[in-house]
Structure 1
Amino acid sequence: MAKKKKSTAVYYHVSADEAGREFGISLLQLKTLMETRGQEGIRELNETYGGIDGLGQRLKTNLITGLSNDETDLAIRITAFGRNEIPRKSPKTFLRLVFDALKDRTLVILIILGIISLTSSIYHPSKKTYETKIKQKRINVEWIEGAIIIVAVLIVVLVIAFNNWLRERQFYDSQSKIELDQKFNVIRDNIIQQIPIKDIVVGDICQIKSGDLLPVDGIVVQSNELKVDESSLTGETDLIRKHESRDPFLLTGTQIMEGSGSMLVLAVGEHSQTGMIFKLLGTTTEESSGKNMNFENKNQIHLCHELHNHDGTELQEFISDNTNQVNNENNLDCFKVLEHSILQAKLRKLACQIKYAGIAIAILTIFVLLVRSLIEIFAQGHEWSYKYWSGVLRYVITFIIIYVFVVPKCLLLIVTQSLEYAVKKIMKDNIILRHLDACETMGYVTSICCDKTGVLTTNRMTVVQVYVGEKHWKNVANSVKTEKMTIPVNTKEIIVEGISVNTSYSSKLLLPSEKEILSKHIGNKTECGLLDFVGVLDGNYDEIRTYYPEDRFIHIYPFNSIRKNMSTIIRRSNSTIRMYTKGASEIVLKKCKTILNHNGDIVPFSSVDYDRLIQTVIEPMASDGLRTICLAYRDFSLDRLPDWDDETSIIDQLTCICICGIEDPIRLEVPDTIAKCRNAGIIVRMFTGDNVNTARSIAIKCGIIKPNDSFLVLEGEEYNRRIKSELDEKVEQNLLDKVWPHLRVLARASPQDKYELVKGIIASKINPIGEVVAVIGDGTNDGPALKRADVGCVMGREGTDVAKEASDIILVDDNLNSIVKIIMWGRYVYHSVAKSLQFQLTVNIVIVLCAFIGACIVKESPLRGIQILWIYLTMNILATLAFAFEMPTEELLTHKPYGRTPPLISRIMMKNIIGHAIYQLAVMFFILFVGPKVFYIDDGRPNGSIFKPSEHFTMIFNVFVLMTLFNEINCRKIHGEKNVFREISKTPLFYGIWIVTFVLQVALVQYGSVIFFCVRLTFKQWMWCLIFGVTVLLWNQVLNLIPVSCHTSKRDGCDVYELTSSVDLDPEEQSRPRVSLTKEQTL
């Protein structure tokens, strides 16, 4: 052992060239072979390297048993051919993010004005012309305003930089979690092992199957009807058939859509075709500027050209998990693809509207101020002098500050802060966000479409009933019942051999560990359930598979969602040719012309027998929620072998062996999860490949429908007949709109059916608030629907790589209750933004109107620019943080969905914003015009060009801040709740920030008066200010009494939109038999 460790250490330090000489082929030769591909690549493979066998010998790989787990050998391969990792581009430093934030034009202008203000307060052209005597009598504090402006801008820049830094960290944390979770099947020491993708090395033998996303480049060693989707890399939309002798090259990032097999790994990491594309796109600054970019051949240039010339969809999908590796001027550009969420789109639209309104009022304000000043100066016969420039500069600074203040830049901060907080909590619940915007979008979801198998059920398949030898046996999973089951010997042998051979060899059972009772299912769960049944019949599938290896199969028709069955053709020991078929019972049974009877003899099977089996066997099994699988076979004569490509004639004239009823138990948490979704106003729909009776039974058990519900339960065929035009067989939205509101279960659904349903619901206009659809799936056939949905969620343990690639959220522990948690956190993000928006808009309206009206009446804004900046920094930023970190509660799940189209500001929020703005303006102008008489203080309104700090204007500023501070408590509630203090004790950060802000305000007024243009207030004046502040809480109760009209209807146990007459079925539709509602009509 000591020697082994020593050699490993040595090889880690040798050069790649030295390690490469250990093999009969270099890294460059492997890269060239993979780049060549096509017929030229096959010719080079055979002529130069001696085919696949010769390539395996050069790489010192056993194509059957794979590599060994010897650390020395693996270390040499990593040194020679690289590790399966694409190096990440280093994230931007905080200083770089600060520099990027300083590029904002508004902030630059504000800095320039601050510098001018600072300079003008220090430099005076002539002591005689600048009122020397006045300057000597009072302290010159004008420079403080300019300095404070610069400091305030720097604080804003730091906040923006910190915001961007948080977004980067969220992205990298999520990416790291995804990468750690990715594993792949390899064969080492003749044992199939699951290892992390980054540990795969050149020379490994990988097992591949339908649903896999290839993490490396390689070449097919053995294939069973292997079909690959290469559209993400080459743009080719048709599936490419792969075979050892015809197009054997497999590329990173492509998806296995059908079949299975094994591959020899030839390139990993940055040496794979995907890695080289990222290198061409730029992983270093030098490469991005066009230097040192060597295109090694035309294929490579063409590949990169293809990526850049598509509409971006392929590239976006292809690099969705590696966006951070693409060089860009701004590393946060990865978020530009992701930021098209419903919430952020509404925020941008609202911010744009506020921006233009704010600019208009700010321009009008400065125009009024300048015109009034000029009229006074020239009307009184004064000459223009330097002292007037300081007034103009003050007006301009006020204008810029109002503009900066009125545009709600902090809204993006609260989205980021809320998301950062939510992501941390979500990841602790074993949930991975592949796209960060998926969390906030879940808060808007109105409909959830979920697959049955593996999502609503445990995907632990067990054969519990079987019809064989003209007898229907129940509870066959019970060992006592199994002993009483009598099956003819020859029938039993056919069942055992048929299941063992006609299942994917990647499906297998592992012995339970000491802590486990049941065996572990690996691969396709339905096939694993059948393999379990082989054990019940005292069979051994491993022995049969050893006798019939995959490379000796004559032909395979793999299972897919269209075929609904799988067939395998073998040459048996007696030299006969036999085909075993298994699949959906009613589909396979239709192709049967004979059946095995109670003696194991073949007897005719008529249409009458077919109907009898449907009614007495398949329907009762389906009503019990069982998946029914029919096993059949067919023997072929050696004299006349058919054309194996003629699938229609081959899979016919079958002999029925048996019908298995497979139970897939419902997950324990599913009924409660469905109930919570219903209470949250979210409609849950189920689609499945099972027959309609099985689907209905499962839907009832889950709580999706009730036994007496009138909702539609349709099969795919009937569903398509209702939604497609009779002329061109295309889906018409108006026909779909008549079906989907009533539809709850879609059985025998193809991937296209699922996709069209999701697409149609999203595109529908019959719901006034617009539909937002989430899809939950786990299989390859769910991929199109997951991709089309607003949010795609996939199971982490059972989900295929294709499904995960199409998803936005991965449920690592396969716990469906996590969906409710994500919905709650999504609504939490919306609520945080809504609270902050309600608060900020009230402050903005008051400040802008106060400045404008003050400019028109008293020639000055009652609030100085430096005071507005203080409000911006303390009220907006600190309040934003306070709202962002309030913990979500179950109460969020009692509100109806927000939908896609309603404005971000609800009617209740608008009432609160306008109502509080009116009250606060009324109080401020009351103090402005009547305050000196009521509070016995001097009138602080400017006299000519002299505007000095006064108790009068200090009270206005202080009252406004305190009213805003107490209104912050009101803004915790956005649905008109009366108790605004509810659960405030559970949010210490909120009341902590509130208290800190209050203390800072007291300190500012009493001790920072010189800086902030204030004077100290007496205890009595403070009491008056507090009284005005507290009355905001009372005024909020008055506003709650004002009704807000809202028309909703109750349906399906929750608040939803009212179905209009356009949704009702027309007479022709009503006359159609509802084949989904009764067993007899269905079948």
Structure 2
Amino acid sequence: MVTLSEGGEDETPLQVKLNGVATIIGKIGLAFAILTFLVLTSRFLAVKVSHDRIRKWSMSDVLNLLNFFAIAVTILVVAVPEGLPLAVTLSLAFAMKKLMNDKALVRHLSACETMGSASCICTDKTGTLTTNHMVVTKIWTCGEEKRVESNKPGHVLSSSISEKVTKTLVHAIFLNTGAEVVKGKDGKNEILGSPTETALLELGLLFQRDFRAQRKESKTIKVEPFNSVKKKMSVLVMLPGGSLRAFLKGASEVILGLCDKIVGKDGDSVPMSEEQRKHITNVINGFACEALRTICLAFKDVDKTSEESIPENNYTLIAVVGIKDPVRPGVKEAVETCLAAGIVVRMVTGDNINTAKAIAKECGILTDDGIAVEGSDFRDKSTQEMKELIPKLQVMARSLPMDKHKLVTILRKECNEIVAVTGDGTNDAPALHEADIGLAMGIAGTEVAKESADVVIMDDNFTTIVTVAKWGRSVYINIQKFVQFQLTVNIVALMTNFFSACISGSAPLTAVQLLWVNMIMDTLGALALATEPPHDGLMKQPPVGRNERFITKIMWRNIVGQSIYQLIVLGVLEFQGKQLLNLNGPHADANLKTLIFNTFVFCQVFNEINSRDMEKINIFQGMLSSWVFIMVMVSTVTFQIVIVEFLGEFADTVPLSRELWMVSVLIGAVSLVVGAVLKCIPVYIGKNTHLIKHHDGYEPLPSGPDMA
């Protein structure tokens, strides 16, 4: 609880970047609004001075100044990216809804995009990488190693081992447990308890079917439950004859260290020689190398004078049990996907180091150049030594909860990584809270773990975590698409009105028209671009670093290219439109202004299609499957027709002829050609002049410090 209360809620990487982008855009918009107002007002006053009418003011003059002010305010409204929070929220909400179908419950909206930037996943083993259905497959006792077959009850141990040993083993399992055997609705026995306890009870039931009878025969005097620090559970019981006996079970190397005797084939305790200790250690390591979780069982007869306390040492080792927890199907492929996406996967587990290494190799986490360490070795190192070790650290075994918390803290604060952490226990809560994104298990997870997490993985499957990462990347890139689209509209609208004000003394786009463009750009644009689904190519690119710029050079290339094209077209129409299009008559000016407005809108419509992908030339791929995008496009065009043809007085437009409509649409459609040409232009990045040429969006991009 103390650890959970430390530190506040940090802003997500995207929030930090967007705050900077929004501030800059707002300041530029304010500057252009003031400049435009000053230029229009200055020109107006200059005309009055030249006509010697500076002292004569009419209501018409006041309305002109008011109109200039309205245009300036509208420019500011257009420039301020109020659609940015909408785009972010829409994108996150859309991803959240889709992730629900993929067995991921997002508790905090911002967790979606944070997961997309994750550069490291610290995952536990049991239940996430493995199925969390544990079964005892091997047992070593009295110097013999046996394979356990559940279809042969009572024949697990050979006849050479006495009934006394079997009885002691059953007592050690049944009397020292936190699990319970109950009758199910179908009349069959069901075991309630943790996966490890369940596996041990299933082993005990192979020898003795009546669990309750064994429990009733003995009286439990004192219990020390299992905890993650001591890694053992012990109990003091009074056996039917009245004698006291302590039973101990837990992590194999911990229990072995507390034993100085071993049970013989006749059931009596015999001193343990160093040779036997080495042999048992080899058995434990052999089980662990087969990816088995090893548990040791031990007992000690206690004097009645020691009734109040459970002894701490001098136990007799009964057996070493090997528990198999199979790797989940699809985990290896999911880990490979993470590695291809530049996400480092680290396993943090309380298991024996050999078991952890075996599972990690099976999952593809532990590579030839990777390092596996024990939690005790890690926590003894200095911060600098940890920083040097972490780049190669892939497995941490026998770790305490605070080791996991320390690892996450060093990764975030010292290595500047964006860290995702998985956990299920109450003791995982500090690490889940400290991480940029905490992923709790929905099935095996405790309520404390779920409360501390940002996302609950409903099926406890690592593959689902990869799905969350893919949607997170989709959120990030969708917001980038929206910002690219919005900045293009901003630049063109601001520059068009500013230069026109400087040259001709009037703004071609009126306040109402600018507000309609603002609606297209912010509300409808956000809805269209923020709901694009992810594709597999997103997981073939490196994650976006915490310090990388949000607006990339690729985005600037597209923004500047499209802005130049639109400014040239609108400038030509503004100053040469009448001659080029042969517009004559009393309505020539009104027709031209409406044409400029219509062309500007259609340039944005087609540029919105362009913005579906910042790199792919074929921007139509998958468009028909995005029904939201299609609906927004159809709605935008429909409303534009209504505004131009039927809302003339309100929007300062006049109905256009079929030819002028064709001109508007064709000029807008050329944006698609301009976009394709721009995407063929390579972008130079950093000092080493790495090139990003056109690719189909499914190829990995260069990574490293130059990407910033």
- Under a length normalisation based on structure 2, what TM-score does the superposition of the two structures give? 0.92
Counterparts in 2 of 1:833 and 1:1057: CA distance versus 1, 3 Å? closer
1:934 offset after TM fit, Å?
A: 1.9
Matched residue, 1:530: 200
Counterparts in 2 of 1:1015 and 1:885: CA distance versus 1, 3 Å? same
Deviation track 1:88-117 (CA, whole Å, cap 9, x = no partner) reads xxxxxxxxxxxxxxxxxxxxxxxxxxxxxx
Question: What one-letter code is carried by the residue in structure 1 that aligns with 2:427?
Answer: N
| Greater displacement, 780-789 / 424-433 | 424-433
1:820 offset after TM fit, Å?
A: 2.3
Deviation track 1:169-195 (CA, whole Å, cap 9, x = no partner) reads xxxxxxxxxxxxxxxxxxxxxxxxxxx
Q: 1:340 aligns with which of 11, 35, 38?
A: 11
Q: Does 1:489 align with 2:129?
A: no
Matched residue, 1:805: 451
Contact residue 949 and residue 1015 of structure 1 kept, 8 A: no
* Counterpart-to-counterpart distance in 2, 1:1016 and 1:400: 27
* Counterpart-to-counterpart distance in 2, 1:676 and 1:894: 8
Deviation track 1:460-514 (CA, whole Å, cap 9, x = no partner) reads 221111111111112444528935633321111111112112111xx12445666
Contact residue 153 and residue 207 of structure 2 kept, 8 A: no
Q: Does 1:500 align with 2:202?
A: no
Matched residue, 1:651: 312
* Counterpart-to-counterpart distance in 2, 1:628 and 1:773: 30
Q: 2:562 aligns with which of 896, 899, 916?
A: 916
Q: Does 1:406 align with 2:56?
A: no
Counterparts in 2 of 1:558 and 1:348: CA distance versus 1, 3 Å? same
Matched residue, 1:641: 306
Matched residue, 2:389: 739
Q: 2:117 aligns with which of 435, 444, 450?
A: 444
Contact residue 462 and residue 477 of structure 1 kept, 8 A: no
Task: Write out aligned runs for 1:298-317 (5 A).
Answer: 314=5
Contact residue 938 and residue 952 of structure 1 kept, 8 A: no
Matched residue, 1:591: 258
Deviation track 1:801-828 (CA, whole Å, cap 9, x = no partner) reads 2222221221223233222222222222
* Counterpart-to-counterpart distance in 1, 2:189 and 2:64: 84
Contact residue 115 and residue 473 of structure 2 kept, 8 A: yes
Q: 2:495 aligns with which of 825, 849, 852?
A: 849
Contact residue 542 and residue 703 of structure 2 kept, 8 A: no
1:701 offset after TM fit, Å?
A: 1.4
Q: How many residues align?
A: 693
Matched residue, 1:147: none
Matched residue, 2:323: 662
Question: What one-letter code is carried by the residue in structure 1 that aligns with 2:215?
Answer: R
* Counterpart-to-counterpart distance in 2, 1:922 and 1:519: 80
Question: What one-letter code is carried by the residue in structure 1 that aligns with 2:407?
Answer: L
Task: Write out aligned runs for 1:171-182 (5 A).
Answer: none
Q: Does 1:895 align with 2:509?
A: no
1:624 offset after TM fit, Å?
A: 0.5
Q: 1:456 aligns with which of 120, 125, 129?
A: 129
Contact residue 341 and residue 437 of structure 1 kept, 8 A: yes
Matched residue, 2:662: 1023
Q: 1:429 aligns with which of 102, 107, 114?
A: 102
* Counterpart-to-counterpart distance in 2, 1:979 and 1:1055: 18
SS in 2 for 1:453: coil
Counterparts in 2 of 1:762 and 1:642: CA distance versus 1, 3 Å? same
Matched residue, 2:215: 545
Task: Write out aligned runs for 1:312-391 (5 A).
Answer: 314=5, 340-382=11-53, 383-391=56-64
SS in 2 for 1:559: strand
* Counterpart-to-counterpart distance in 2, 1:483 and 1:744: 37
* Counterpart-to-counterpart distance in 2, 1:747 and 1:965: 55
1:339 offset after TM fit, Å?
A: 8.9
Matched residue, 2:631: 992
* Counterpart-to-counterpart distance in 2, 1:948 and 1:1018: 12
Question: What one-letter code is carried by the residue in structure 1 that aligns with 2:683?
Answer: V
1:1011 offset after TM fit, Å?
A: 2.4
Identity %: 35
Q: Does 1:697 align with 2:368?
A: no
Matched residue, 1:209: none
* Counterpart-to-counterpart distance in 2, 1:787 and 1:339: 11
Task: Write out aligned runs for 1:220-235 (5 A).
Answer: 231=1
1:643 offset after TM fit, Å?
A: 7.2
1:684 offset after TM fit, Å?
A: 1.1
Deviation track 1:930-956 (CA, whole Å, cap 9, x = no partner) reads 22222223599xxxxxx9952222222
Matched residue, 2:239: 572
Counterparts in 2 of 1:717 and 1:880: CA distance versus 1, 3 Å? same
Q: 1:749 aligns with which of 399, 423, 426?
A: 399
Q: 2:428 aligns with which of 771, 774, 782?
A: 782
1:980 offset after TM fit, Å?
A: 0.9
Matched residue, 2:473: 827
Matched residue, 1:982: 621
SS in 2 for 1:886: coil
Q: 2:683 aligns with which of 1044, 1066, 1069?
A: 1044
Contact residue 339 and residue 437 of structure 1 kept, 8 A: no
Q: 1:628 aligns with which of 294, 302, 322?
A: 294
Matched residue, 1:676: 337
1:347 offset after TM fit, Å?
A: 2.0
Structure 1: which 5+ residue stretches go unaligned?
A: 1-230, 232-236, 239-312, 318-336, 725-731, 941-946, 1061-1083
Contact residue 758 and residue 773 of structure 1 kept, 8 A: yes
Contact residue 269 and residue 316 of structure 2 kept, 8 A: yes
Question: What one-letter code is carried by the residue in structure 1 that aligns with 2:348?
Answer: F
Counterparts in 2 of 1:1059 and 1:471: CA distance versus 1, 3 Å? farther
Counterparts in 2 of 1:949 and 1:547: CA distance versus 1, 3 Å? farther
Structure 2: which 5+ residue stretches go unaligned?
A: 692-698
Matched residue, 1:614: 281
Contact residue 510 and residue 519 of structure 1 kept, 8 A: yes
Task: Write out aligned runs for 1:861-1010 (5 A).
Answer: 861-937=507-583, 949-974=589-614, 976-1010=615-649
Matched residue, 1:557: 224
Contact residue 482 and residue 611 of structure 2 kept, 8 A: yes
Contact residue 534 and residue 540 of structure 1 kept, 8 A: no
Matched residue, 1:600: 267
Question: What one-letter code is carried by the residue in structure 2 that aligns with 1:491?
Answer: V
* Counterpart-to-counterpart distance in 1, 2:596 and 2:702: 46
Question: What one-letter code is carried by the residue in structure 2 that aligns with 1:608?
Answer: E
* Counterpart-to-counterpart distance in 1, 2:284 and 2:337: 33
Question: What one-letter code is carried by the residue in structure 2 that aligns with 1:834?
Answer: Q
Contact residue 249 and residue 297 of structure 2 kept, 8 A: yes
Deviation track 1:421-453 (CA, whole Å, cap 9, x = no partner) reads 222222233332222222222121111111111
Deviation track 1:975-1023 (CA, whole Å, cap 9, x = no partner) reads x111111111111331232133223323332333332222333333333
Matched residue, 2:419: 773
1:1058 offset after TM fit, Å?
A: 5.0
Question: What one-letter code is carried by the residue in structure 1 that aligns with 2:200?
Answer: L
Question: What one-letter code is carried by the residue in structure 2 that aligns with 1:371?
Answer: S
* Counterpart-to-counterpart distance in 2, 1:1039 and 1:403: 29
Counterparts in 2 of 1:788 and 1:930: CA distance versus 1, 3 Å? same
Contact residue 592 and residue 652 of structure 1 kept, 8 A: yes
Question: What one-letter code is carried by the residue in structure 2 that aligns with 1:406?
Answer: A
Matched residue, 2:504: 858
* Counterpart-to-counterpart distance in 1, 2:155 and 2:136: 11
